[in-house]
Structure 1
Amino acid sequence: MNKKKLRILHCLEKLYSGGVERRRLTLAKLLDQNQYEQKIICTEARGPLADEIRSHGVEIIQELPFNSIFDWKRYQRGAKFMRDWQPDIVHGAVFEGCAMAAVAGRLARRPIILTEETSDPQNRSWRGHLLYRAIVSLADYAVAVSPAVGTYLNEKIKVPRKKIRVITNGVIPPRIPNPAEIHAKRDELGLPKDAFVVGSVGRVFNSPKRFSDLIEAVAILKVSCPNLYLLIVGDGPDKSMLERLAEQLGMQNRVIFTGYQYDTGLIYALMDVFALVSEYEAFGLVLVEAMFCGLPIVTSGEGGMKNIVVNNETGVFVPKRNVQAIATALQNLYFDKPLGKQMGEAGRLRAQEHFSAERYVKDVDEFYQFLAKKYGVFK
């Protein structure tokens, strides 16, 4: 048994509330602290998720933000920190985090450098692809969060398959609230007792999330499904625009914007259907969370989402940007509640079998140990 702890430095851009940050929380909670010492370097960290990561003994170092991806002084500062702390594995995620891991890691002569592609970057420019290819060329391995991302790395970025490691995301199931909490939350949000609630969770960027398609879809169903409500959970720059859209469609009382909610378990407990109709997603952690909560799914199935949801078994696939198809899928689940319950239970079992946090951390642990052995960290 190795006495030396593996030192892991995670490089991110910002640490707020997204899926990348939640995976770092999972690693902070579940990676064996007798074998690993973890730190995170980022430009900014705030909010309850950052506090929870710290509570598990992971130090968060906040550096000055990038002036640009070519901010050489920032890489030099990152390299200085790496030389001082001597991490065994430098693990970058998101574009800026990968750049920091690759460039500063090489400057600091760290033995193992990983880049992790966490998006399905269909809108990345050709210059962006070239730059990311240069970044990944400095790494020892490129981690993909889903098979779809692995395909992108190989076919678009031209990363050799032997250099790609697919580690499918895993999720800690949201907590199960008690009936009194659920009742109080429904009252707080103004949801009637008989409301049939469709929910969607994510940072409020209409591209790629397409929350506007959900709003237009429920507007189509305003008469045929009179007690159907839509919850949009999250914050972001497009929230005001979407609020105006709901008002223009006469849906301001049926579309509820909750803002950011840290207690996602309580929010999922309000829902009857979960919808994520993004133009693209690398994975879709919120889909797995919703499945753990027994919710049927309506999704575009783009990118990594098609590897999570099984069409007509755990949910329904709809073409992206097809408002009428979304409305039809929601209407079918509204009028066939036994079908929704059946899909939700199948989704719960699938999430437990394939997307548990324990499985994810086991895969990461085995990969880190493989790397440590391959590159002679313990010699």
Structure 2
Amino acid sequence: MPKPYPDRVLYLIDSLGMGGAERMLFNYLRHLDRNRWEPRVCVFRVRDGNPIASEIEGLGIPVDLIPVSRIRDFVKLIPLVRYLRRHRFDLVHTQLEAVTVHGGIAAKLAGLPAVHTLHTFAYPDATAREVRRSEITWFALRSFHDKVIAVSEAVGDYAVAKGRVLRKRISVLYNGIDTNAFRRGNEIERAAVRKAFGIPASAALVVTVAVLRREKGIQYLIEAWPEILKSVPNAYYLIVGGGPYESQLKSLAATYKLTDRVLFAGARSDIPELLGSSDLFVLPTLDDVLPTVLAEAMASSLPIVASRVGGVPEMVEPGRNGLLVPPTDQARLAEACIRLLRMPDEAQRLAQGGRALAESRFNVRSQVRKLENLYQELIGRTDNSC
């Protein structure tokens, strides 16, 4: 028989700053069936004031702090295990690698099933210390977690190859978005956004939304822009986001005398409006696990040009919703952009395919239902009343 009360799930995460995993956690909690689940969140540290904590608390979900600063700080297992037992949790879900070791061990000591969401690959330029830390993390995943959720097939393959995690213990669950929050803007909305940036209403508008780091590859599209302008003279490029590489990108645009065509919007909260007012989304990234912004662009009915790296091919299917190009290849990047800007019928077909794909593969509601089924499977193994 089903329980007469919700199962209690602890979400354990390093901090609640403005990162992608943190925002995804909030998004999932917002759509969790509260008749079936009683969620609670615990963090190990405060980063930038933990702004997402207040958003989660706004959902009526408590957020607690148990300070853990080092991976070898095993004395902190004592208060963590006591915390798990005091709140009578049924399952522990760890997020981000910093909590993998303590979260997994504490769950096992408390007799609870544990699941971990694996968001990233290891960095190729990792230091020796970071490599050792990674090995400890992989050991914790193999030894103390019942399931590993990979956010893409590519991440799952990486966990098997590098982390020696058994394939049968991996479930792939794509990051979901609220597809209802994104749509193509009407003519009035599109004109208003363009006017705000000094872009002609009739211009061809290409957009990238990203944290401005070298690894996002935006520099290659800026370098390709003069070639694009030869074929599409009314093309404008809007770069949305801030980051450590912003000044270099602005200098590059100035070097190519593109300051009137390559525009920097900075960090913005009106991403749906900006996407809905554009004509083409481009992500020339050098490596990416599963860029959620691609799903947002699809839901906004935008055709996509992106690099064939990481988990991107799981999101962009050539001929269905966009075009893929080799990373760092400026010529192929320019060619793909020109093609979709000059062929509106093909661009429209890909845009429609992207919207359909966003609904079928990246809708947060369906992804949360899959997550809940996984929880029930794990709790059912250890709870004879279910």
TM score, norm. by length of structure 1: 0.90
Contact 2:182/2:296 (CA < 8 Å) preserved in 1? no
- The total of aligned residue pairs comes to 376
Match of 2:260 among 253, 261, 265: 253
Letter in 2 for 1:203: V
State percent identity of aligned pairs: 28
Instruction: Specify the alignment match of 2:6 in structure 1.
Output: 5
Please state whether the residue corresponding to 1:303 is helix, strand or coil.
coil
Q: 1:374 pairs with 355, 359, 381, which one?
A: 381
Q: 1:147 to 1:287 in 2, by over 3 A?
A: same
Contact between 2:287 and 2:310, CA under 8 Å: does it hold in 1? Answer: yes
Counterpart CA distance in 2 for 1:156 and 1:345 is: 37
C-alpha distance in 1 between matches for 2:267 and 2:219: 18
The AA in structure 1 aligned to 2:164 is K
Counterpart of 1:335, as a letter, is: R
Partner of 1:149: 155
CA contact under 8 A between 1:113 and 1:141: conserved in structure 2? Answer: yes
Give the AA of the match of 2:208.
S
Q: Say if 2:135 is the partner of 1:130.
A: yes
CA distance, structure 1, for counterparts of residue 15 and residue 269 of structure 2: 17
180 and 112 in structure 1: CA distance in 2 versus 1, 3 angstrom threshold: same
Instruction: Compute the displacement of 1:129 (Å).
Output: 4.1
Instruction: Identify which range, 176-185 or 323-332, moves more after superposition.
Output: 176-185
Query: Using the alignment, how far apart are the partners of 1:79 and 1:375 within structure 2?
Result: 18
Please give the per-residue CA displacement for 1:79-133, whole angstroms capped at 9, x wherever unaligned: 45434333222111222133442244345x2501112111133526443542321
Correspondence 1:1-379 to 2 at 5 A: 1-42=2-43, 43-44=45-46, 50-62=53-65, 64=67, 67-72=69-74, 78-106=80-108, 109-121=110-122, 123=124, 125=126, 126-137=131-142, 138-173=144-179, 174-176=181-183, 180-207=188-215, 209-376=216-383, 378=385
CA contact (8 A) 2:241 2:265 kept: yes
Q: Deviations over 1:299-339 (max 9, x none)?
A: 11322211111113211010011122111111111211221
How far apart, in 2, do the equivalents of 1:188 and 1:74 lie?
52
Deviation at 1:19, TM superposition (A): 3.2
Unmatched tracts of structure 1, length 5 or more: none
| 3-state DSSP of counterpart to 2:163 | coil
CA change 1:315–1:372 in 2 (3 A) is: same
Note closer, same or farther for the CA distance 1:13–1:275 as it changes in structure 2 (3 Å cut).
Answer: farther
What value does the CA root-mean-square deviation take over the aligned residues? 2.5
* Cα distance in 2 between the residues matched to 1:162 and 1:374: 16
Aligned counterparts of 1:335 and 1:147: Cα–Cα separation in 2:
33
- Separation of aligned partners in 2, 1:374 and 1:124: 40
